[in-house]
Amino acid sequence: MDLEILWFVLVAVLWTGFFFLEGFDFGVSILQFFLGKTEKERGAYISSITPHWGGNEVWLLTAGGAMFAAFPRWYATFFSVLYVPLVLLLLALIVRGVCFEVRHRSHVQKLCEVCDVALAVSSFFIALLTSVALANFAVGIPLDSRGYFVGHFFDLIQVPVLFSGLLGLSLFLTNGALYLTLKIEGELQTRVCKISKVAVVVSLALFAFATALTLGRSLICLAPLIFISLAALFVFTRCFKIAFVMVALCTACSVAGLFFFMYPNVLVSSVPENSLTIMNSASSPYTLKIMSIVALIFVPIVLAYQIWSYYIFRKRISSRNIHSEV
């Protein structure tokens, strides 16, 4: 396999890991505001992701870093085109991180409540912006022959892109709700079970509509719909672990399908001959070779650490934890 193709696949894998791991992370961060009736109840929901949010966020940074090192022209063009949305994304990430740290250390109820609101709002915008950004890879943006953006802001928020943002947001919420069914006990879990049914039905409806629009392009479009349909079935039969796995597979197939449609392009132009491809935007073969060696060494270490952290913090949070420090 050519190194350019290998790194295209690795970038797709990194985005998949981000959308799945940060998916339930963002979903919980948004849902805690609506499910928690008190500051302590919201704290119980938030504590389910507190050990993991930092590690999950690394997938986004690594995906951006891999784009920068393996496909510098792709990185430069895309981040220039989406400069304003990505600055907003960065600010939302900063606010989100601050909320976790301040809430963990603060004993002032009002401050904790402010953090809960800011956490939900920042997570909502991050979920929406990342989904919109990824959709812009494949929808097509105005580029000239040198790869410079020649359109305007509204070219980046077309109807298909906004629908993709809504689709990603619904998937994040479904992912977060199912994650909480596996981490929370008692009355807090009962609320989550109810909201998970609503979330999975909404996601199913959106995926059905998206599949109807894109099915003519490839049968791969059926895979996400099949998995989200199975997830809905298992949610209503209260098999939440299997449903969680089905949503993970739906996420993986959705991102894989997007990159499948893009190939061999990495950034589609509304003028096809100006699109950036894996060949005209890749780094030198020597750079890709060194990166491949480094990735072969460190990626398994990172994966092993994340698996270990989820194993260590595998226990459920019960109603008793509401009255303890979170």
Is 139 a domain residue?
yes
Is 140 a domain residue?
yes
Write down the number of H helices and E strands in the chain. 11, 2
Tokens 């939302």 — which residue?
92
User: How many domains does the chain fold into?
Assistant: 1
Query: Which domain covers residue 129, as residue numbers?
Result: 3-183+264-323
User: Which DSSP string corresponds to 26-63?
Assistant: HHHHHHHHHH-SSHHHHHHHHHTTTTTHHHHHHHHHHH
Is 253 a domain residue?
no
- Tens digit of each residue's pLDDT (9 = 90 or more) over 97-129: 898 888 877 777 788 888 889 999 999 998 888
Mean pLDDT of 2-27: 88
Is 20 a domain residue?
yes
Structure tokens belonging to residue 106: 């603060």
Is 281 a domain residue?
yes
Is 159 a domain residue?
yes
- pLDDT for 153 beyond 80: no
Is 43 a domain residue?
yes
pTM: 0.86
Residue 184: φ, ψ to 5°: -120, 150
- Closest by CA to 118, choosing from 135, 101, 140, 131, is 101
Q: How many CB atoms lie within 10 A of CB 101?
A: 10
Is 190 a domain residue?
no
Tokens 């991180």 — which residue?
97
| Signed CA dihedral, 261, 163, 237, 195: sign only | positive
Write down the pLDDT at residue 197: 93
- Tens digit of each residue's pLDDT (9 = 90 or more) over 271-318: 777 788 888 888 988 999 998 998 888 888 888 888 888 888 877 776
137 confidence band (pLDDT: 50, 70, 90): confident
Mapped onto helix, strand or coil, the DSSP state of residue 281 is coil
